[in-house]
Every structure is written in structure tokens, then in C-alpha cells.
Amino acid sequence: MKQYLTINEWSIIEDGFHPEYNKISESVCSIGNGRMGQRANFEEKYSGETLPGHYVAGIYYPDKTRVGWWKNGYPEYFAKILNAPSWIGIDVEIDGEVLDLATCQVQDFRRELNMREGYLERTFRAQLPSGKLVEVSSLRFTSIADDELGAIRYAIMPLNFSGSITMAPYLDAGIKNADANYDERFWLPIAREVEAGSGYITAETKKTAFQVCTGMRLQLEKDGTGVETTLELIEREDFISNRITAPVEEGEQLVLYKYAAVVSSENYANNKLIIACNLALDRAVQIGFAEMLNAQAAVWAEKWQDSDIIIKGDAAAQQGIRFNIFQLNQTYTGEDERLNIGPKGFTGEKYGGTTYWDTEAYCLPFYLATADQQVARNLLVYRYKHLPKAIENAQKLGFTGGAALYPMVTINGEECHNEWEITFEEIHRNGAIAFAIYDYIRYTGDAEYLNQYGLEVLVGISRFWAQRVHLSNEKNQYVMLGVTGPNEYENNINNNWYTSTIATWTLEYTLSALQQVKQSAPARYAELRQILNLDEENESSKWQDIINNMYYPVDEKLRIFLQQDGYLDKEQILVKDLDPSQRPINQKWSWDRILRSCFIKQADVLQGIYLFEERYDADTIRRNFDFYEPRTVHESSLSPCVHAILAAKIGDEEKAYDFYLRTARLDLDDYNNDTEDGCHITSMAGTWMSVVKGFGGMRVLKDQLHFHPFIPKQWQSYTFKIKFRGHQIDITVTQATIKIINQADKPLAFFLYGNPQNIAANNILNISRQIPA
């Protein structure tokens, strides 16, 4: 762990310059607005360790898959998330000497991500090799009020000299990805223009031909007034700049305002991009920096009003949860159903594609409870619109008859993951997509979604499961061979309990959904039968037979569900007995050694118990938790949250808190030594679930909310906010009491500790908390 960041409830603060951790700080202090995002790179030149990163939603490059191209059905490409043309750069020279913190003596350095208002601020003093001392402050943001805009205020003041300062704000389309082969570049410059105080560059991606136009407008002031300057316009094929030099006296502050616009062919015709870019810049200049910043703060105030979690008595826990919520809100706004939630969001380029099963399994509950219903619905519509591609993906693997296999990784519906054991075998992802439909309808009551979109997806997935299993002559039961479960430290295994469980659950839910649509919307049902070419009698009969006769591995002696056939044949070693120097094992062990071990990357059996907990009594949950958790190394960011929720369920409050803190501070404290590549955005929704579903015990059963809250002993109180079927509800838990506020203009019925409760419209319920003996 690296604990160099200052604990602050509303900000992520790096006090003092830590060049060895710079790439970590660049990740955690990233800013975005759902349409684009920028790592916390310095505006001025920096020759030290850095990972430059600016990302535009929906833009990718189909890199040739480097392994396995000889295997039938293998993805043809890896969807590389591209580092997009840079808008933040401002080269600085002092009397011809380059400002570069890697070559300066740095004093009073402070980098702060203000999460309350959504901006990044940096201040420092730098003594150059010549001995000249300058004071610099920068403040920037990507506007969440106008998602085509970004803005920077960059100020510099000489402290021990008078002279000339040159600022050269630029746009650079000559960028590359850190993992590019042979320094390959993925952008081709198409058009550019540079004038005094403005300019733009349009660049096009190779192969995919996405176009992005990036523009800038500039304003320079000295002590709040205009300034006389000399100007040099710089123009290269993929680069434009205004090189502005001004005389400055000791103690005078020179301030540059840089407004940027980023527009793409995802939203405009190619021949309209330059016009759209300039119109966006006109808006920015007309509004001005101060008002743009005020608008930014206002939108973030609304988001915090709906999604904030307030923890009193534990600043580290408070900072952690707000950091997670902030990143989720700036990664996905739900305004565009073509977009989704990438595992790194806008914080790094690692991993391909922008959609994993993480969205359905972890992110959906957050957006269901904290945003307008349409936001969560758009996540499901995204998958519905990819259904034809899911059917194509299944056909490539030999499946027929409208069977659908959703990709493990995608950006456009096609599979683009480049590891065969994941692409071919980690098929449990199909079940997560089916469960998300159920979860959405259960929470919102929007049964019309099933008629309009959901049933088609469920039938496609169920057809896949029906073909993926086969009847074992030896067992006289259906089995599922050659799979990888959520625990990716096991590959090509037989009868993974979780995969088999979610497969048969999907079949059950699809049969129920067929009847529901048939009864509630007979005309639509008749239409869907034609669209799906549904053989209701035969297909339903087959699915029911699989449900009734599926094989699930269990151990009768231990009375647990077995992760897969043969799991107990492995040498059973507990994580606590591992030499700490061997952790994390995915960075210290060979893959062969990992595969032969009993160690579990993330919740596998416990993932199934978490999803379907109403099927199991407390003793069953506890036995499986007590067996699998000590064997789990939690080397996936998705692991701690599931364990936190289940630990809370079985009353292990201390473990629930420990797992919460780990998931909340996973990136801030760099638990897994990988934050420099980007933050773990999708797992951040799991942090929210740890509080709301774990500590708050929130569930939806038979259309009603249930709460079973406890409070960690380290906290004085916590408050979370949820939306539910037209209600806005605030729940505050202290060591002695529970306060629930119904902010809606209608009464709220719910269950607290299993007992029915009612709160009148716009009213409050105060009640004593049940404290375990």
C-alpha cells in the first residue's frame, strides 16, 4: 500500500511532490464528464515518469489480436482505447529556460482533485537550474455542464527576478498509446488552422476512421489586465501552438486562460466538425472561465444531492466512498445509450473495449438508486442493441438458432478480448446480462421493458445455455464443460457451480418472462414469436428439463457448493499462510503455478450466493463464506465488495468493514500495485454497494424495500440516499438510532429489520436501531 495522499473528506490531495508516484496521482486525479476525460498530467513539459492520457467516448482502434489468430472463432481484433489528441498542453519558458519539474527544485507542491465542485488544481514553486524562482498555479476541468468543453487557468509569477515568460499553449495530435507496438501512431491529421488566440486540429483514426476535432481559444492577462506580447504561430502536420512571450516584473502574475472544445464524428457529420468545434468555443468564451466553473459546481451539487454518502467519524472511509462516487458520476452520465462504463473509465488506456460484465453485475445497482430511471434503462438498451452482434458471436463458436453469446469485452457488440480462456470460456457473463434485466425490473417496476426489449435478449441467452450444456450418460444429468468462472485463476474447468447456477436461473427467468408477456401483452407476444421464430412448446420443454436435471458440484462432508469439479483435489493452503513477499501472486508467480493452486482471484461461488441469497439460509451462506474467503487473494478489484456484503449478511461486521475499506481505498492506497495504469472504475460501484447493500442491508423483495442496517464501530453515523419508484429517501444510521426521510409527495411503505413500516409523504421516521446481542 502507498499512503502518501492526504486524508480529506472532499478532496484528493498530494501535498509535496512525489515523482515516484506521479502516474498514480495522474490516475486518481483524473477528470471527466461522460463524453471525454483527462488524466492529471501536467500542462507544462515534464520529462519524468508520466502516462499522458486524454480519452474520447466511443473512439477506438481495432488492433490486430496478437495471440490465437489460428483458432476458429477467435476475435479478429483487440479494441484499443486510444489516447486522443491532447488539449491541455502549455509549454513554459523563463528567459528561454524550460519549466520542467523533473529538472527543477520543487517547493510547496500541491495537487488537489476537488470532488465537491469537480476540478483539478495544482500549485507549486519551482527553482530552475539558473536559480530563478517562479510560483505557478493551474486549475482545470472538463465541463459536465457542457460536455464538449474543457478549460484551464494557468498562472505564473516570478519571485526573485524580472524578465520574459513564454507560454506556448498547443494542441497535439501526434500522440501515441503507451502500449503501442513499435511506437505505432493511430491518428492521421486531416485539417488544422492556427491564428492569434485560437486554432484547431482535426484528426482521424486509422482503420475505424473516427474523426475528432480539438480546438482552443486563448486569453492572456497580467494582474487582471491586458498585456503586450510578441506572438509566434507554430504549425506542423499534427501540432499547432501560439507561442506568446510577455515581459513580467518580479511579483507580477501572468495568467493564461485556455478554453478547449472536443467534438467527434460520433455526434456530428465529418463536414460539420470544425463548425461544431468553433460554436462550442464561442460558448466557452462568451460564458467565461468563472461562470463555467460556477456551472460546473452547480451540476456537481445536484449529483451529490442525489448520490452522496456521508460518513461521520472516519475521514479515510469518507474520502474513499466520495472518491468512488465521484469517478462513477464523471464516467457515465447515461445521456447517450451508445456509451457504457469501461473498467478504467477515462483514467487510463489499459484493457480494451468499454464494456465488460462488470456493468451489469456491479454498476447497474448504483445508477438504479442514484440517477433517473432512464440512465439505468439506457445501460440495458445498450445491450439490446448489441443483440444481433451477440448472435453473430455465438455463430462464430458454432451455436445456431438465434443463440446469443454476449462478448466478454466489447465496444460495438463484437467480441474483442484477446485471451482465449476468457473469450471462449468465461461465458457466465451471459448470465449477468440476463440478471440485469431482472434486477432493473425488480427495482423500477418497469415491466414494459420486458415486452419492449428484455424478452428478446433473454430468449437469445437461454438458447445459448441450452446448447452449451449436454446430458452426461454417466451422471444422467446436464453438465457444462470447459468454462472459466469469475475466478480467473482457474481455466478450462468442468461444472463451475456459479456458471451452472446462473445458467439455469436464466432459463427459469426466461420461462417466467414468456408467460408474463403472453398474459400482459398478447399482441406483442405474438409479434415476438414471429421475430424470434420461437418454438414455445419444444424450447420451453427443453429448458425445463435442463432446470430439473442440472448437475451442480457439492461436497456433502463440508456441506458447501464446490467451485468446480476437482477443486478439493488441489493442495488446500490458506491465504494467511502465504509469504507476504509472494503477494500479489499474479505479479510474483508463474501462470502455471497459479492455475495449480487453490487460490481464488475473486468471488466465484460467493458471487452466486450474493446474487441469489434469498435461495439460501444463513448457515449455508456462512459455511460457504468461511470456506472460500480464506482462500481468496482478492487480486481483482471486484472481489472485496461482494465479500463485504456477505460478511454483513452473516453478521461479521468487522470483516465487512475491513472489506469495505479495501474496496473504497483500492486505488487511493494502490492496494494491488496497478493504479498507475488507471483507476478501477467498475469496482467503485461495488464500494457503493458495500455501504448500501452491506451496512444498510438494502434489498428489494416483492416490490418493496427492505433495510437491515448496522453501523461499523469506527463510525459515528452514516447517511445514504436512494431513489425508488418515485421516492427520494435518505437513511441515516447512528450507533443508537435510524432516521429515514421520505422526501416524496406520497407515502412510503417498506420493511425495517423484517417489520413493516410506513412514512407519510414528506415525513421522517426515527426509530431505535436493533443492536445484536
| Integer Cα distance of 453 and 631 in angstroms | 40
CB 407 within 8 A of CB 414: yes
| Integer Cα distance of 546 and 600 in angstroms | 28
3-state SS track over 272-293:
HHHHHHHHHHHHHHHHCHHHHH
Q: How many CB atoms lie within 10 A of CB 253?
A: 16
Task: Name the helix (H) or strand (E) containing 547.
Answer: helix 536-548
| Integer Cα distance of 54 and 468 in angstroms | 41
| Integer Cα distance of 773 and 770 in angstroms | 9
**Of 590, 593, 496, 511, nearest in space to 552 by CA:** 496
**Of 459, 460, 468, nearest in space to 515 by CA:** 459
Name the residue type at position 610: Y
* β 704-707/748-752 pair status: parallel
| Integer Cα distance of 544 and 507 in angstroms | 8
CA angle 621, 626, 628 (to 5 degrees): 95
| Integer Cα distance of 494 and 276 in angstroms | 54
Task: Name the helix (H) or strand (E) containing 97.
Answer: strand 97-98
What is each CA distance from 610 to 362, 431, 456, 486, 491, in whole angstroms? Answer: 11, 14, 26, 13, 22
The C-alpha R_g of the chain, in whole angstroms, comes to 27
Task: Give the list of residues 6+ apart from residue 271 with CB closer than 8 angstroms, or none.
Answer: none
CA angle 270, 276, 277 (to 5 degrees): 100
Active-site residue (options: 26, 44, 488, 539)? 488
CB 438 within 8 A of CB 506: no
| Integer Cα distance of 112 and 119 in angstroms | 8
| Integer Cα distance of 99 and 97 in angstroms | 7
Residue 565 phi/psi, 5-degree rounding, is -55, 135
CB 350 within 8 A of CB 673: no
Is 488 designated active site? yes
Q: How many CB atoms lie within 10 A of CB 249?
A: 12
| Integer Cα distance of 224 and 618 in angstroms | 67
What is each CA distance from 80 to 212, 357, 519, in whole angstroms? Answer: 16, 18, 45
Residues with catalytic roles: 488
